[in-house]
Amino acid sequence: MCGSVTNYEKSALKLLENDSVIKILDVLVRNPLTIEEIVDKTGLEKEDVTHLISDMINMDIVRKEGNVYILNFCLFSREDAYKLRELGFTFGEKLYRIILDNLEWIDESLAKTSCSKYTSLDMLRFIVVGAHTLDLKVLSLLYEKKLALCGGNRHPGGNYTLFGREISSKEDVSLVRGMYFGCHSDSWGKYTFRSFGDHSGLRWAFPDVVWRKEPLVMNRLLKLGKEIDVCVKRIACLLENIASDYYCARVRDSSLEYALDTLLELGYIECSDSYCRPIVPVFRASDMKIVRQISDHLGEIIVSFVEDNIFDIRSMLRDFRLYYWVDFRELFTEVWHWIFGATNNILACRGYFFKPIAKRKYEGEYIMWMEVS
């Protein structure tokens, strides 16, 4: 998904919780089909298929052309997903060299941030170049140039565009392992928490633990207060204070012990008996000004790269079924994610970006940080 859901219960994501809807998508991912063909291939009752297809049309997941139903969003078959990964690395190698050519001035700017005092350069590069620029900034620029379609009122229940891929076995998880293109963010007052990484597993970070109502974290939050929003703000405020001092005396306020334990458990800070210090960066408002300056300048350079290569990319996409089914802007939005995801992977594996490591069972590879406005 690219964008944000404002009403989950009325969104396409809610409908996709239905196993029968997934069965229908499983057969439509390769070819447009009639109702009778869908019934035959899924084993579902015709009445159920007819009802679900109607719901899927209302959610802009499928559309009808003649007597057949066609996917109306970017859902890549297993075969096309492997080709998409290959395409990502083909152009990712080219984009990697452009990033390297600009690292000198980027590093000079990053050194001016307050969090550079306690955060490694490879981590700051990953956040500012890999997430803020390649993902957030460039996507907005591509949207302005009508090359991408991210967000907007594409589906009911928010401003988002759906994307998906067929993962049919545990081995297929390797498709997305190390493809760093997923930015999750949410704000509580002046605080914005972000996580960024692949989609190979769970993230033990804000906002993800709140979104999925992770029991361990939610139990601690509720011990800080009855309102989750207020509790997260208290945790964010504590993290801001620790980052401001870099090294600070360990909190002895019993009312904040659960906040401290949460930050420790999720890996935002480390503590001894006498002090606490931040592990992840906390960007102040003045730091975010530097981040925007970098992403604005580098973003224009990268968009020029896209424009120079768009003909070759479009030519390669003619081998994909979806090229003939969906809006090219929508298709290219997903393609761009795989290109910059591969670029981030290359930069991380070659030592220029921080290389995330999964530490828990079923955990993905990701980084996390907080921003203060």
Following DSSP, what letter does each residue of 65-124 receive, concatenated? ETTEEEE-SEEE-HHHHHHHHHHHHHHHHHHHHHHHHHHHHHHHHHTTSGGGGTS-HHHH
Q: Quick check: helix, strand or coil at residue 358?
A: coil
**pLDDT value of residue 254:** 67
> Residue range 256-264: average pLDDT?
90
Does residue 299 carry a pLDDT above 70? yes
**pLDDT value of residue 248:** 65
**pLDDT value of residue 359:** 92
Does residue 156 carry a pLDDT above 70? yes
Q: How distant, in Å, are the alpha carbons of 92, 151, 210, 336 from that of 3? A: 23, 4, 18, 15
Query: What confidence tier does 26 reach under pLDDT thresholds 50, 70, 90?
Result: very high
Nearest partner of 180 among 327, 332, 48, 366, judged by Cα: 366
The half-sphere exposure of 353 on its side-chain side, counting CA atoms within 13 A, is: 28
In the beta sheet, which residues pair with residue 158? 5
Does residue 7 carry a pLDDT above 80? yes
Phi/psi at 333 (5° precision): -60, -45
| Residue corresponding to tokens 């350079």 | 301
Which residues are CB-contacts of 219 (< 8 A; sequence separation ≥ 6)? none
Q: What is the pLDDT of residues 236-258, one digit of tens each?
A: 999 999 999 876 666 666 668 88
Q: What is the pLDDT of residues 171-215, one digit of tens each?
A: 678 889 999 999 999 999 999 999 999 999 999 999 999 999 999
Distance, in Å, from the CA atom of 180 to the CA atom of 161, rounded to the nearest integer, reads: 19
**pLDDT value of residue 257:** 85
> Residue range 79-85: average pLDDT?
91
In the beta sheet, which residues pair with residue 369? 194
- Average pLDDT over the chain, rounded to whole? 93
Q: State the pairing for strand pair 74-76/163-165.
A: parallel
**pLDDT value of residue 252:** 64
Does residue 340 carry a pLDDT above 80? yes
Q: What is the pLDDT of residues 122-143, one digit of tens each?
A: 999 999 999 999 999 999 999 9
> Residue range 280-290: average pLDDT?
98
**pLDDT value of residue 371:** 98
**pLDDT value of residue 106:** 98
Q: 280 and 368 in contact (C-beta within 8 Å)?
A: yes
Q: 137 and 325 in contact (C-beta within 8 Å)?
A: no
pTM for the predicted model, two decimal places = 0.92
User: What's the N-to-C CA distance of the chain in angstroms?
Assistant: 25
Distance, in Å, from the CA atom of 229 to the CA atom of 234, rounded to the nearest integer, reads: 9
> Residue range 43-53: average pLDDT?
97
**pLDDT value of residue 160:** 87
Topology (CATH level 3) of domain 2-72: Arc Repressor Mutant, subunit A (1.10.10)
184-198, 263-277, 342-356: the lowest-pLDDT one: 263-277
Q: What proportion of the chain, given as a percentage, has pLDDT over 90?
A: 80
**pLDDT value of residue 19:** 95
Amino acid, res. 316: M
Domain ranges of the chain: 2-72, 78-114+133-179+298-359
**pLDDT value of residue 273:** 80
Say whether the peptide bond before residue 215 is cis (omega within 30 degrees of 0). no
